[in-house]
Amino acid sequence: MHGNENGLHPDTGVTSTIFVERSLNEIRFWSRIMKEHSLFLRLGFRAEDTQLIHEANQFFRLFERLEQTAHAFTNQSDPDQIRSFNSEVQQAATSIFAFKRKVLGLIITCQLPGANNFPLLVDHISREANYFRKRLIELNQGKLKPLPDAIIKENVFFLRIMADHAKFIGHLLDPSERKLIDIAQNFSNDFDQLLYQARDLEGMVPYSQTVPLLDQFLDQNRVSVTSLRDFKKTARELIEQCKIKSIIHPLLADHVFREADRFLEIIDMFDAHLTSHKTNPRFVED
Ligand SMILES: [Fe+2]
Ligand SMILES: [Fe+2]
């Protein structure tokens, strides 16, 4: 099945090229993220948790392969091939989601005493897997959330992710790094507040979905995400150069930096489309 002459997919009305481009963009970004989560999980297990270590290693290899495949495709690839690739990746995301929830259950019920991943971190990475899974389903269904709904929902998701990151950094720094812990704590408070604001706005839907309110909402979030992103960048450099004491893996520092950068890109994309044409940039309506 190919796009018709206007470049529209016959089933969904989503432009074929945009569909391919969005799908590959999501998979390239999130497969790498899922691959790294597998590594972080593995590093947090105890030496005797050989079965869990084995499962984590399998997920690492799975997402490494999917990431490579995504890079082998191009924006000119056949949309039908991408459609089935999306389903394959979606199944992988569903499996890693189930694995993360299982691990969370084991930690919370004290069946892995002495393991080194916080429950909130495992919950956090399971939420990211679920987000990835849902994005792929939406893309394949060509189902479009209206722009104002997408703006609020994506911000609620990412603000919570950012608030968690600040808490992880604060807790993985050595207790003697008092100044940096203070900064991380301030970011945590800032993002908790922004998250509450976003939920308040969500509660006032549909009346809150005016261009001026959404525009202001995006601008305010952008300010905080930019400073958190810069703080993560600095932390990453300090960790790489071994200038601070922590149990933060350098790859984790880079990982949370990339996620903040992704959120900023999404904010900018929404902002650009909010005031110009009122289509949803992430899904593209016909
Ligand atoms: Fe992550
Ligand atoms: Fe994250």
Residue 144 has pLDDT above 50, yes or no: yes
* Cα-to-centroid distance, 40 and ligand 2 (Å): 12
* Cα-to-centroid distance, 269 and ligand 1 (Å): 21
Q: Are 7 and 99 members of one domain?
A: yes
Distance in angstroms (rounded) separating the CA atoms of residues 186 and 160: 15
Residue 1 has pLDDT above 80, yes or no: no
Query: What are 27-32's contacts with CB under 8 Å, separation 24+?
Result: 27/66, 27/67, 27/70, 27/85, 27/86, 27/89, 27/136, 28/67, 28/70, 28/71, 29/258, 29/262, 30/93, 30/128, 30/132, 30/135, 31/63, 31/64, 31/66, 31/67, 31/70, 31/89, 32/63, 32/67
Cis peptide before 206 (omega within 30 of 0): yes
Q: Which ligand is nearest to the CA of 158?
A: 2
pLDDT band per the 50, 70, 90 thresholds, residue 283:
very low
* Cα-to-centroid distance, 34 and ligand 1 (Å): 7
Q: Are 123 and 233 members of one domain?
A: no
The first and second tokens of residue 131, run together, are 């987000």
DSSP output for 148-166: HHHHHHHHHHHHHHHHHHH
Which residues are registered as beta bridge partners of 15? 8
pLDDT band per the 50, 70, 90 thresholds, residue 143:
confident
pLDDT band per the 50, 70, 90 thresholds, residue 280:
low
pLDDT band per the 50, 70, 90 thresholds, residue 102:
very high
Q: What single DSSP character describes residue 6?
A: T
Distance in angstroms (rounded) separating the CA atoms of residues 56 and 78: 32
Per-residue model confidence as pLDDT tens digits over 25-34: 999 999 999 9
* Cα-to-centroid distance, 208 and ligand 2 (Å): 28
The arithmetic mean of pLDDT across residues 43-47, rounded, is: 98
Residue that is last in its domain, among 120, 144, 168: 144
pTM comes to: 0.91
* Cα-to-centroid distance, 117 and ligand 1 (Å): 13
Q: Are 2 and 140 members of one domain?
A: yes
Q: Are 48 and 12 members of one domain?
A: yes
Residue that is last in its domain, among 144, 169, 185: 144
Q: Find the range with the poorest average confidence among 58-67, 101-110, 135-144.
A: 135-144
Q: Are 109 and 32 members of one domain?
A: yes
- Residue 19: closest CA among 86, 64, 72: 86
pLDDT band per the 50, 70, 90 thresholds, residue 277:
low
User: CB-based burial of residue 94 (10 Å sphere; 0-12 exposed, 13-18 middle, 19+ buried)?
Assistant: middle
pLDDT for res 5: 34
pLDDT for res 7: 36
The arithmetic mean of pLDDT across residues 220-229, rounded, is: 98
* Cα-to-centroid distance, 259 and ligand 1 (Å): 7
CATH of residue 92: 1.20.1260.120
Residue that is last in its domain, among 85, 118, 144: 144
CA distances from 105 to 60, 98, 111 (A): 21, 11, 9
Q: Are 131 and 177 members of one domain?
A: no
The arithmetic mean of pLDDT across residues 237-243, rounded, is: 98
Number of compact structural domains in the chain: 2
* Cα-to-centroid distance, 252 and ligand 2 (Å): 9
Per-residue model confidence as pLDDT tens digits over 185-197: 999 999 999 999 9
Per-residue model confidence as pLDDT tens digits over 153-164: 999 999 999 999
The arithmetic mean of pLDDT across residues 5-29, rounded, is: 73
Distance in angstroms (rounded) separating the CA atoms of residues 284 and 277: 11
Q: Are 31 and 102 members of one domain?
A: yes
Q: Which residue segment(s) compose the domain that 8 sits in?
A: 1-144
